[in-house]
Structure 1
Amino acid sequence: MRPLPETPLSPPLPPAAAAAVETGAVRCVLAPGNALGEGVLWSVREQVVYWVDILQRELHRWDPATQAHQRWAFAEEISALGERAHAPGFIVTLRRGFALFDPAADAAPRYLYQPEPERTGNRFNDGKCDAQGRFWGGSMDFACQEPTGALYSYTPAGACTRHDDGFAVTNGPAWAPTAQGPAMFFNDTAQGATYRYRWDPVAGTVRDKTLWKRWPAADGVPDGMTTDADGRLWIAHWGGGCVTCHDADTAHELARIPLPASQVTNCAFGGADLRTLYITSARTGLSPGQLAAEPLAGALFAVDTAARGLPAPLFGG
């Protein structure tokens, strides 16, 4: 599949139309020294946080009520996950595609579909479920250089669709209502760009790809992201040491959360009221001097916000 062509972006609404969002102080929840923390997910039914360490091939679970921390080791990279609606456990993306894994079953994950066997230098990266129960995931070049990554969806019925192509590093997606209708946002991390697509939630398709924001070098590059209940986007910045909040129509910045780690990778709302933003980070690629200056690189962080998140959709509806 050829990459979707870009279409001209409509004139943005005035930035003054959106109000700033208040956030509290950042706290370190846990410092497990993740090489590449990612895929953070708040489980509403368990009231715990899950996330992955892609490069160390681990799934982590932290219970804020008991402070208990668990981890599961995998034979290959695990990069993202979504809870299943009608069965225990998760749909996950492993190195080569979509699989099922139940932490309570004491069994290896079971592959469902591997969509790109010919792209041997690729692995999967970020992903999440949409509100209709499909799981979306992006692949990428393991070396983060060649534009061999693509955007996929996988349905509970077992249908896999490649929606866009030509990315070196993929992150997202996230969904939000806009003045032009429902939209899906997706990060071309290697190019420092966030794209917006027109989103058909019934058909599960995207079209009319537009450049939503080109990020300045001082902000690093856009990594994982989430949406709050008011449709604002919260975006982690790899190399930028922060999470920012934006109006979905204008891309106007509404909040900025500095982190004591430069490589900020993903974020998700959690807690009983879904007002706590959980944030992952990474240590990989940092020099000894940088690691000494960033002792919390690779930690899981949390910050209370005035925003309220949405429950993470379940695979299967």
Structure 2
Amino acid sequence: MNISFVHAESPVWDSNRKTLYWVDALQQEVHAMKFDTMEHKMKRIEYGEVNIVMPIANSKRLLVAVRAQLFLLDMDKPGDYALRLVTSLDEGKPDNILNEGKADARGRFWGGTKGHQFNDTVEPDQGSLYCIEKPYYNKRVALRPVTISNGITWSLNSSVLYYIDSSTKMIEAFDFDLDTGEISHRRVIVNITDYGASSPAIPDGMAIDRDGMLWVALMFEGAIVRINPDLRTIVEAYRLPVSLTTSLTWGGDHLEDLIVTTSRRNLDSKKIKDEPLAGSIFILHGLGTGGVPDNLFVFDNADNY
């Protein structure tokens, strides 16, 4: 795309609508673009930082994270009428942000928070990873403490949850019980510093391909990497002409386009001049693999809630 954003994040592909959703977190915007017509819609929330968007099963509404709260969003309604509160997280920590999230194969929402951020520094150990599911959508703490809860995805058979707390510089794995939503047996898959990543680099968003390999955006490194989780090694790496790569997802008719969001958050004028494409959305073709459809959040009767 030839337009840029302050901090593009949370790309997700809706295979049913052939639509890409993403957010500009700091501008408090949710974006939607149909690939067949290139029709672009935008909704400004004006209620706080927006870091997550995802489709809801059997609904025209979307799930969005605003500050440390989850809402149902109707893109067609004006102002606050567009929002319906689902739950609040990290009560008593008003500067915390719900930073990243996805749905598992049963439609549960998994999302994590980060502590107060000043420039590029985040207060350590103030966040948590939560699981939220029907029928009451009560929150359950799955992991605590974390500093910057970030990328999350599941193995193709849903037996493993892959997870990133960016501050650790590691991609980790847990055994995952799909029936109960419980995680166990935490272990390290890859530490990015073992592969020559620069000292400020951190792992950010994450996706899985149809071959079971993980794709991770390396923030401050301007790169994305492909990881074999069984061999616990990086097998491919790609450089982008920007330094702040935030997240990625598979999209397109055959889920063979890798869509990468980027940022220009906190870049000074010289850096922006050196990186004129900072904040753009990139689409990578011909990678020899593709994705699988994203899981959808399940919220019964969402359109009437």
Q: What TM-score results when the alignment is normalised by the length of structure 2?
A: 0.89
Q: Confirm or deny: 8 A CA contact 1:38 1:126 kept in the other structure.
A: no
Provide the C-alpha distance between the structure 2 equivalents of 1:142 and 1:238, rounded to a whole number of angstroms.
18
In structure 2, what is the equivalent of residue 238 of structure 1? 219
Corresponding position of 2:187: 210
**Does residue 1:170 correspond to 2:142, yes or no?**
no
In the TM superposition, what are the counterparts of 1:105-254 in structure 2 within 5 Å? Answer: 105-106=77-78, 107-143=81-117, 144-157=122-135, 158-176=137-155, 182-216=159-193, 218=197, 220-254=201-235
Aligned to 2:91, the other structure's residue is in SS state coil
Aligned length: 286
For residues 96-130 of structure 1, give each alpha carbon's deviation from its aligned partner in whole angstroms, at most 9, with x where no partner exists: 22211121344331111113211222111111111
Which residue is equivalent to 2:290? 308
For 1:93 and 1:137, the matched residues in 2 are separated by: 9
**After superposition, what is the alpha-carbon deviation per residue over 1:213-247, rounded to whole angstroms, capped at 9, x for unaligned?**
22116252100001112211010010111111111
1:306 alignment partner, SS class: coil
CA distance in 2, matches of 1:50, 1:82: 7
Aligned residue runs from structure 1 range 294-305, under 5 A:
294-304=275-285, 305=287
Percent identity over the alignment? 26
Q: What is the RMSD computed on CA atoms of the aligned residues?
A: 1.7
Per-residue deviation at 1:186? Answer: 1.1
Structure 1 match to 2:261: 280
Q: Work out the CA distance in 2 between the residues paired with 1:56 and 1:205.
A: 35
Point out 4+ residue stretches in structure 1 off by more than 6 angstroms. Answer: none
2:190 match: secondary structure: strand
Q: Contact conserved, 1:156 with 1:315, CA < 8 A, in 2? A: no
Give, in angstroms, the shift of residue 61 of structure 1: 1.5
> Structure 2: any 5+ residue segments left out of the alignment?
300-305
1:66 equivalent to 2:37? Answer: yes
Aligned pairs for 1:43-62 (under 5 A) are 43-62=14-33
Deviation at 1:94, TM superposition (A): 1.6
Aligned to 2:303: none
1:286 maps to a residue whose letter is L
Aligned to 1:23: none
Cα distance in 2, alignment partners of residues 306 and 201 from structure 1: 30
